[in-house]
Amino acid sequence: MRNLNISIFASGTGSNFEAILKAKKKGLIKSTIALLITNNSQCGAVEIARKNSIDVVHISRKVYPELSEEKYTEIFLNVLKTYNIDFIVLAGYMKLLPPSLVDEYENRIINIHPALLPSFGGKGMYGINVHRAVLESGVKVTGITIHFVNKEYDKGRIIFQKCVEIYPDDDEYSLQKRVLKYEHKYYPLIISELEKHLL
């Protein structure tokens, strides 16, 4: 039985990508991390991929401004087919995936969100914006949500949630740091569980 091939999609620093790679090196994740797709060729995730000899493909509307939605989606699908990708893991990817791609990989794309969905989700709710909104709301608990991806931001079926306490002296940066620790701990664990069902 062959291992699954995973493609990571990332736009930012790549800290969750790094946590996934560490889990892979420890043997927790059996799948092959075959590819990084990014819309930001200068992001930290690209550097992490190169250090780990993982191929990087840059796909962005800035690169292909003239293409129709259909042709643009074909670029993603052709790359994923070339690498024989079974499973897509979004790790700080800042773009909505093309609808046809979501259809093609139904129940095989997951994302992690730094709050307890359905609260504090949707367009523009990413990174520090989420933690700022959480603190401004006055809630006492935040957390992480790992979910399947559908055609709307943060609306896919929830797989796993974990609460993170908010301290009275938290600002958005201290809260982000603490939530990230939970992301790094639980995202690889959920990937490990899911791959067993996909094999």
Q: Which two tokens stand for residue 11?
A: 């736009």
Q: E strands along 21-123, which residues?
A: 32-38, 55-58, 87-90, 109-113
**Predicted local distance difference test score (pLDDT) of residue 46:** 98
CATH number for position 74: 3.40.50.170
Q: Where are the alpha helices (DSSP H) in 61-140?
A: 69-82, 99-104, 128-137
Q: What is the pLDDT of residues 136-165, one digit of tens each?
A: 999 999 999 999 999 999 999 999 999 999
- The rounded distance, in Å, linking the Cα atoms of 130 and 101 is 26
For residues 91 and 9, is the Cβ–Cβ distance under 8 A? yes
Judged by DSSP in three states, 45 sits in helix
For 158-171, what is each residue's pLDDT tens digit? 999 999 999 999 99
- Closest of 191, 144, 162 to residue 27, by C-alpha: 191
pLDDT at residue 12 is higher than 90 = yes
pLDDT tops 60 at residue 1: no
Q: What confidence score (pLDDT) does residue 29 get?
A: 96
Find the domain containing 33 and state its range: 5-198
Q: Tell me the pLDDT tens digit for each residue of 52-109.
A: 999 999 999 998 889 999 999 999 999 999 999 999 999 999 999 999 999 999 999 9
pTM: predicted TM-score of the whole model, two decimal places: 0.95
Q: Which residues are catalytic?
A: 113
Domain tally, the chain: 1
H-assigned helices in 29-142: 44-51, 69-82, 99-104, 128-137
3-class DSSP state of 15: helix
What is the biggest distance separating any 2 CA atoms in the chain, rounded to whole angstroms? 51
Q: Is the pLDDT of residue 24 over 60?
A: yes
Instruction: Give yes or no for residue 187 having a pLDDT over 60.
Output: yes
Report the mean per-residue pLDDT for the chain. Answer: 95
Q: What is the edge-to-edge ordering of all strands in the sheet holding 158-165?
A: 55-58, 32-38, 5-9, 87-90, 109-113, 141-148, 158-165
